[in-house]
C-alpha cells in the first residue's frame, strides 16, 4: 500500500570479508513516498533517478547529496494509460524505463512507447500503438535505436529518427509465443542481444541475421525477471528468476582449463556441452571456435527459495532484490 523510493549507502568496497560479505550495516540515506508500485528505475545522472510506476506515471527524483534528501524533480502523469469507453484515462503500468541522458524512453502495458527529455514538459515523441500487447522491457541498441520485448515473444527494433510508427525489425520466438520479460544488449557488440521470458529460457539473438534467436538455453524453472551482461566484462552474463535462483553464465575461457567448482560446496555448476547449445553460441556468445566447447553456469544463491526480482552489476559488485524484502550485495563475483 505504502511505497517508497530509498537511497542506501552500503559503505566502502574495501570492507568486504573473505566470502564477499560486507561487514558494517548498510544504512538508509533518505527515502520518499511513491505513488503506485515501482516497476523499474534507472539513474539518469549522478543526482537524478527515473522511476516507472504501476499508475502509468514516470517521475524524476533528485537526490540532494548535501543534505541527503529526495525530491520530485519532474513528473509525467499518466505517461501510460488505457482509454476507457467514456474516454476517461485509466493509468496503465509503466513496465520499463531506460535512460541515455537527457533522453528517457518508457514502455508500458498499454503498448505505448514514449520518448521524453529530462528538461521538457511534454513527450518529444509518442508511438501510441507501438504494440498490441504489453511491452515488458526496453533498452537502447544505439543512441537513436531502441529494443523492446513484449508479451507474445517478440523482440522489436525501433529507429527513433524515423517518423513512421512501425518497428524497423521484428524478431520472434518460434512456436508458442512465450512472453519475454527482459532484454539486454551486449555492451561492445551491439548485434548481440539476450532476452529472458516466462518459461525461464535464455535466448541469445544476433540481430544481423534471421528473425529467430541463434540459441535457446535452458535456464530457470520459472519466469526470468532480469538479464544483464557484465558492463565491462561481457563474457559474463547474469539472470535471475521467480524460482529463487540467480545464475552467472561464464563464457570467458575454455571451461576444461578451469578448476572445477563442483567440489567447492555452495556452488552448483552445470556444464552445457555443445550438443545442448546451438553451435553458434560461443563473440564468446556467437563464435564458432571449437575449443570453446563448454560454458560454465553457477547458481550464486543455491538455497534461495523466494523470487529474485531484480539484479544489477557494476565492477565486482552484484546487487539483487528478492521477495524476502531484502537487498543483497555480492562483492566477490570473480573470486
Query: Would you state the pLDDT for residue 105?
Result: 98
Grid cell locating 35: 505513488
User: What integer pLDDT is reported at residue 305 of this predicted model?
Assistant: 81
pTM, whole model, 2 decimals?
A: 0.85
Select from 183, 297, 305 the least CA-distant residue to 242.
305
The stretch 36-51 carries a mean pLDDT of: 96
Domains 1-12+23-130 and 175-253+283-334 share a fold: yes
Please list, residue by residue across 41-74, b when 16 or more beta carbons sit within 10 angstroms of its beta carbon and e when fewer do: bbebeeebbbbbbbbbbbbbbbbeeeeeebeebb
Query: Which sequence spans correspond to the domains of the chain?
Result: 1-12+23-130, 175-253+283-334
What pLDDT, on the 0 to 100 scale, is given for residue 288? 44
Per-residue pLDDT band for 203 (boundaries 50, 70, 90) equals very high
Q: Which tens digits make up the pLDDT trace of 296-330?
A: 888 998 787 899 999 999 888 899 999 998 888 88
Whole-number percent of the chain with pLDDT over 90: 63
Residues 211, 87: Cα–Cα separation, whole Å:
38
State residue 16's pLDDT score.
54
pLDDT number for residue 294: 64
**CATH number for region 175-253+283-334:** 2.130.10.10
Among 235, 160, 157, smallest CA distance to 191 is for: 157
CATH 3.30.420.40 applies to domain 1-12+23-130: no
Query: What pLDDT is recorded for position 277?
Result: 40
Q: Which residue did the predictor score with more confidence, 293 or 95?
A: 95
Cα separation, 71 vs 287, in Å, equals: 47
Residues in a beta bridge with 317: 314
Kindly report, residue by residue over 80-131, the tens digit of the pLDDT. Answer: 999 865 556 788 999 999 999 999 999 999 999 999 999 899 999 999 999 9
The pLDDT > 70 percentage for the chain reads: 82
Average pLDDT over residues 162-167: 91
| Each residue's pLDDT tens digit, 215-254 | 888 889 999 999 999 999 999 999 999 999 999 999 886 5
Amino acid at each position: 500500500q505504502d511505497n517508497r523510493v530509498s537511497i542506501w549507502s552500503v559503505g566502502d568496497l574495501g570492507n568486504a570479508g573473505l566470502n564477499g560479505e560486507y561487514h558494517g550495516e548498510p544504512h538508509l540515506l533518505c527515502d520518499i513516498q511513491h505513488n503506485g508500485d515501482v516497476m523499474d528505475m534507472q539513474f539518469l545522472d549522478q543526482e537524478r533517478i527515473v522511476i516507472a510506476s504501476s499508475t502509468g506515471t514516470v517521475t524524476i527524483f533528485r537526490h540532494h547529496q548535501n543534505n541527503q534528501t529526495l525530491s520530485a524533480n519532474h513528473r509525467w502523469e499518466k505517461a501510460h494509460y488505457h482509454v476507457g469507453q467514456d474516454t476517461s484515462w485509466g493509468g496503465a503500468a509503466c513496465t520499463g524505463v531506460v535512460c541515455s541522458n537527457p533522453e528517457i524512453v518508457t514502455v508500458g502495458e498499454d503498448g505505448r512507447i514514449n520518448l521524453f527529455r529530462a528538461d521538457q514538459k511534454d513527450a518529444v515523441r509518442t508511438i501510441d500503438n507501438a504494440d498490441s500487447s504489453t511491452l515488458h522491457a526496453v533498452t537502447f541498441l544505439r543512441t537513436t535505436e531502441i529494443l523492446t520485448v513484449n508479451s507474445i515473444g517478440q523482440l522489436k527494433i525501433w529507429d527513433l529518427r524515423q517518423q513512421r510508427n512501425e518497428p524497423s525489425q521484428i524478431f520472434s520466438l518460434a512456436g508458442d509465443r512465450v512472453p519475454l520479460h527482459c532484454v539486454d544488449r551486449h555492451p561492445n557488440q551491439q548485434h548481440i542481444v539476450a532476452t529472458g521470458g516466462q518459461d525461464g529460457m535464455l535466448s541469445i539473438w544476433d540481430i544481423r541475421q534471421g528473425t529467430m534467436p541463434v540459441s535457446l538455453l535452458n535456464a530457470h524453472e520459472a519466469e526470468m525477471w532480469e538479464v544483464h551482461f557484465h558492463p565491462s566484462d561481457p563474457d559474463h552474463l547474469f539472470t535471475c528468476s521467480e524460482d529463487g535462483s540467480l545464475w552467472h553464465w561464464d563464457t570467458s575461457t575454455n571451461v576444461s582449463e578451469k578448476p572445477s567448482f563442483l567440489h567447492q560446496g555452495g556452488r552448483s555448476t552445470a556444464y552445457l556441452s555443445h550438443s545442448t547449445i546451438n553451435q553458434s553460441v560461443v563473440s564468446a556468445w556467437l563464435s564458432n571456435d571449437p575449443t570453446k566447447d563448454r560454458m560454465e553456469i553457477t547458481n550464486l544463491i543455491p538455497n534461495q527459495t523466494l523470487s529474485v526480482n531484480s539484479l544489477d552489476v557494476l565492477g565486482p559488485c552484484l546487487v539483487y532484490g528478492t521477495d524476502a524484502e531484502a537487498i543483497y550485495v555480492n562483492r566477490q563475483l570473480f573470486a
